[in-house]
Amino acid sequence: MNVIPHITESLRLEGCTILGALSITTAIRDAVTVIHGPSGCTQHNFSLLHATFLADGIAALPHLLSTHLTEDEIIFGGEEVLETLLKDISAPGPGCIFVLSTCIVDTIGDDTSAVCRKSWGVPVIYLPTAGFLGGGFNQGLINTLMTLSHRIEPVEKQPLTVALIGEKNLEYEVETNYAEITRLLNLLGVRVELRFVRDLCFADIDRLGGAALNILREPLLAPVGQMLEWKFGTPFIDCMPEGFSGTLRFLAEVAHHLDLDAPPALRKETAHQDEVCAKFADFRGVAVNFGAEHRLSGIPAIDEVVTTLGLQPTGEGVMLPLPVPVPIGTAGMERLLHRWRRVIHVSL
Amino acid sequence: MSHCENPLWPCAMTGAVACLAGFEDVAVIVHGSSGCYFYPASLLPYPIYGSHLLETEIIFGSGSRLQDVVTRMPGTHAAVAVVTTCVPSLVGEDIHALLAGVGGVLVVDAPGFIGQFERGWQAAQQVLPARVDPEKTGVNIDGLNPIDPFYRGNVLEARRLLSLAGLSPGTFFSSDRFQSLSQSGAYTLSTNPDLTGTVGTPAGSLLGLEATRRAFRTLGDRYPAMDGDAVEKEIARAEERISKVCDKFLRRHNPPAVAIFGSRSYALHAADLLTYSLDASILCIGSRNGPVHAAYPAEEMTEFPSIKERIERDHPDLVLGSSYEQSVCGDAAFVPLTPPIRGRIFLHARPLIGPEGALLLIEEVLNGCLDRMKKR
């Protein structure tokens, strides 16, 4: 429960920069992540990531190290501890080492960057994620993707391939969203070349420039898309598809960027969407409610399906939950409709 | 202090917040970043609040933000408690002075760098305005930790036992209302000796059947009108049921070799119960929160790699612990004992204390062992 902030204060509720960065660094199998700060920061995040990994059926646990700063290091500085730790963990030669700073080390003024710049024999990548002093969750996520992107060299383009940029690794539906994207791309004969960054090795990231098209998880990641376009000439779509018509538009956009024939795929998907809608014919005329102020939800993808299925938005109908974020593709919308039907069953 | 790898036990801030949040009409505010707020918020069964500081508020002072948050708390709360996290604590703002005009605010300085969960729990206990009311005859219960998977079960089992004995409940630390703090009883029973409080004379622990028996005998000396027989009979019935089912298990199977990981008191309790009732061999106790002095092989283990290594080395038949241990216990039977328990759904109340707690633990252990044998 939060004290509700003004919209301009939404940064307050984003969560920690560290978790945003960790959502990326822990998706690299051969990477080690060091969190430079008290052990509590590492424990919190290890616990949250452990829960997420379990929910995704990932058996491995994230490999997180903490410099474990206590009152002594807070007073006298923690750079020495970080240096000793990097010496220890660089020796076995992990794919790379990420070093994340915390709010406490920024406050005491440790020069984390300088320690990381020393020669360690393996890539040691400093991510300035000073908790809330470094922004919020999204800033941690974007900074990490940008930092990794900067390191990559151009490679030969692979035709009919895409890279997925910034999948939300902590999102409960991340794999079902991926399945939907691959289903849609298959309609066009396109494959995913790289998931940047999910379940890969550090060296795999070098393939990023080879994708013919980048698909961002959400518009928030536009700076990453723009940077990759500038660096590798790769065009991008700024969001995964939301809603029925959004899904068709997505297919058309992919086809346009890759110079493919869209109509056959669009016909197939339209027929599929018609089948999905037919399953929910019983929704027609049901009075639903999205809150007192608005008759419709105000979310285009949701309002489209409400209208298509003939639900009747009123101020007094069945209160339907609005999904955050909006489900991806036709499959995501179908799952949402099943959730709504459950609510309607319970309420009527 | 050397570094650590995948640490497993929460920090002092989380302990302080957990202790305070158990008082349902206390508005607990995590004074720090949203990152610090989200972790305890994800674990606690109660709502908590956050000041969700931004960078500018650290540079220019977080006082007005905190005042704003405190004054916007719903008036339904009996008290407001502010728990400071690492940076506000380090910056050294005088929170008491900042909130002087607001009044009635409890302030707990519990930055993560001062130590682990228990340290914060104790810090919070010290600021709670608890006092013994000589007019009250209720018995206090302490050690009730809202992030413990046995929290609600322990609350209910403690109430049931007090009711059986004809005793009235005093203050429950921490599962109560703020007002009860001024009406604490003279005696206190513990559900978790790692989290003992400061109010009331300790009368013993409810962790284990023999401990429960001793604790109620102690109370019987103080309250002669108490119905001690009812509790004694309940314990005897549980012992009989445990004895019967364990004997049946041992007619067909060897006792399990067990590795136990968790907070010191819970782990020792489980080891004692399994040794006594099932003749289990305890391969190791890995304590999350300090050294263990016991007849079992035991050491403090607070990092995931050491636990993984120990389980792989010892090949236990049965592992008691958290979902961390579960993830590396291979084909061993697993019984949840320690938070976090991720990846499974718990809805009903599960006690660890008293007769029902002992019955549940034995039930889970035997079912786990039998299921494992069926799979083989």
pLDDT of residue A96: 96
Confidence check: pLDDT of A249 > 70: yes
Domain membership flag for residue B78: yes
Confidence check: pLDDT of B139 > 70: yes
pLDDT of residue A5: 41
Domain membership flag for residue B7: no
Determine how many CB atoms are found less than 10 A away from the CB of residue B357. Answer: 25
Same domain, yes or no, for B191 and B285?
no
Confidence check: pLDDT of B362 > 60: yes
Same domain, yes or no, for B249 and B212?
no
CA distance B302 to chain A (A): 10
How far apart (Å, rounded) are the C-alpha atoms in residues A325 and A241?
12
Domain membership flag for residue B114: yes
Average pLDDT value for residue range B204-223: 97
Same domain, yes or no, for B87 and B183?
no
Domain membership flag for residue B187: yes
| Residues of A with Cβ-Cβ distance to B3 under 8 angstroms | 65-68, 81, 84-85, 88
Instruction: From residue A156, give the alpha-carbon distance in Å to each of A161, A206, A210.
Output: 12, 11, 5
Same domain, yes or no, for B170 and B279?
no
Q: Which residue has the higher pLDDT, B197 or A228?
A: A228
pLDDT of residue A295: 81
Confidence check: pLDDT of B166 > 90: yes
Same domain, yes or no, for B246 and B355?
yes
pLDDT of residue A120: 94
Domain count, chain B: 3
Confidence check: pLDDT of B364 > 50: yes
B324, A49 Cβ separation under 8 angstroms: no
pLDDT of residue A144: 97
pLDDT of residue B1: 54
Domain membership flag for residue B1: no
Crossing angle of helices A17-25 and A137-150, in 10° steps, is 40
Domain membership flag for residue B335: yes
Q: What CATH number does the domain containing B65 carry?
A: 3.40.50.1980
Domain membership flag for residue B132: no
* Residue of B6, B303, B304, B3 whose CA lies nearest to A84: B3
| Residues of A with Cβ-Cβ distance to B25 under 8 angstroms | none
Q: Which residue has the higher pLDDT, A8 or B267?
A: B267
Domain membership flag for residue B222: yes
CA distance A97 to chain B (A): 14
Mean pLDDT of chain B: 94
B257, B317 Cβ separation under 8 angstroms: yes
**pTM of this structure:** 0.88
pLDDT of residue A297: 84
Same domain, yes or no, for B265 and B338?
yes
Average pLDDT value for residue range B346-373: 96
Confidence check: pLDDT of A6 > 60: no
Most confident of A180-189, A290-299, B57-66, B96-105: A180-189
- Per residue in A73-99, pLDDT (tens digit) is 888 888 999 999 999 999 988 999 999
Same domain, yes or no, for B201 and B282?
no
Interface residue of A9, A12, A63, A141 to substitute, partner B, most B CBs within 10 Å: A12
Same domain, yes or no, for B156 and B245?
no
| Residues of A with Cβ-Cβ distance to B92 under 8 angstroms | none
Confidence check: pLDDT of B372 > 60: yes
Average pLDDT value for residue range B237-244: 97
- Which of A19, A41, A71 is facing B114, going by the closest CB pair? A71
Residue at a domain's end among B127, B149, B169: B127
How far apart (Å, rounded) are the C-alpha atoms in residues B213 and B325?
32
Same domain, yes or no, for B194 and B296?
no
| Residues of B with Cβ-Cβ distance to A67 under 8 angstroms | 3
pLDDT band for A11, please (50, 70, 90 cuts).
low
Residue at a domain's end among B197, B227, B257: B227
- Per residue in A169-203, pLDDT (tens digit) is 999 999 999 999 999 999 999 999 999 999 999 99
Beta bridge partners of B63: none
Q: Domain range holding B189?
A: 139-227
Q: Which residue of B has its CA nearest to A20?
A: B35
Residue at a domain's end among B101, B127, B153: B127
Same domain, yes or no, for B368 and B246?
yes
Percentage of the residues of chain B whose pLDDT score is greater than 70: 100
Indicate yes or no: CB of B1 within 8 angstroms of CB of A73: yes
Interface residue of A4, A43, A105 to substitute, partner B, most B CBs within 10 Å: A43
Same domain, yes or no, for B239 and B364?
yes
pLDDT of residue B293: 86
Mean pLDDT of chain A: 92
pLDDT of residue A3: 46
Same domain, yes or no, for B289 and B221?
no
